[in-house]
Amino acid sequence: MKRVALFPGSFDPFTKGHEDIVLRGLNLFDEIIIAIGYNSTKSNRYFKIELMVEKINDAFKAYPSITVQTYAELTAEFAKKNGARFLLRGLRNTTDFEYENSISQINKHLNADLESVFLITSPQFASISSSIIREVHKYEGQVSDFLPYSLTSASSV
């Protein structure tokens, strides 16, 4: 049985920190689905979801076992539908831990077959957060060092 993991998140934007978790996850899983969660009725993203799908696909084009999907439902349900028995998550600090701890308990309750697997962030990426990148990009600062693909300053919504 293939070991399929879902790597869910907003990825607004997808960063080198996320990339690191996915590539390290490949040592554990046969397939990784990067799942960009969105709410179709109330989308308040900074970077368009279509743009992120395109950029992530591009960043992993050499890895056929890594795919990208978007979803607007419970993560636990989406995992089940896609045959993913694992949820891959990254942990940067205790704030991430508090949040991930409660969300993984809920996900386990919703889908008992789903196991959450956490990787501790590589130190060189620990300070990268999507929210800081959005802020820097908004004021036309240089964000390319933090992203595994290139972006123009006109790339936001």
Is 15 near ligand ADP (CB under 6 A)?
yes
Is residue 85 part of the annotated active site? The answer reads no
Is 156 near ligand ADP (CB under 6 A)?
no
Which position among 85, 92, 108, 134 bears the catalytic label? 92
Say how far apart CA 39 and CA 4 lie, in whole Å: 24
Reduced DSSP (H G I as helix, E B as strand, rest coil) percent helix, strand, coil of the chain, to 5: 40, 20, 40
117 φ, ψ to 5°? Answer: -125, 130
Q: Build a one-symbol-per-residue string for 50-89: x at contacts with ligand ADP by CB under 6 A, - elsewhere.
A: ---------------------------------------x
Residue 85 CB, shortest distance to ligand ADP, in Å, is 17
Q: How many helices (H) and strands (E) are present in the chain, helices listed first? A: 5, 5
* Nearest CB to ligand ADP, comparing residues 17 and 148: 17
Is residue 155 part of the annotated active site? The answer reads no
Is residue 42 part of the annotated active site? The answer reads yes
Is 17 near ligand ADP (CB under 6 A)?
yes
Say how far apart CA 68 and CA 138 lie, in whole Å: 25
Is 11 near ligand ADP (CB under 6 A)?
yes
Question: Vertex 14, ends 109 and 76: CA angle to 5°?
Answer: 15
Is 21 near ligand ADP (CB under 6 A)?
yes
Please report, as a single letter, which amino acid is at residue 89: R
Say how far apart CA 95 and CA 13 lie, in whole Å: 20
Tell me how far CA of residue 71 lies from CA of 36, 81, 139, in angstroms: 6, 11, 30
In this chain, which stretch among 77-85, 105-113, 124-132, 135-143 interacts with ligand ADP, using CB under 6 A?
124-132
Is residue 40 part of the annotated active site? The answer reads no
Interacting residues toward ligand ADP by CB under 6 A: 9-11, 15, 17-18, 21, 89-90, 92, 96, 121, 125, 128-130
Residues designated catalytic: 18, 42, 92, 130
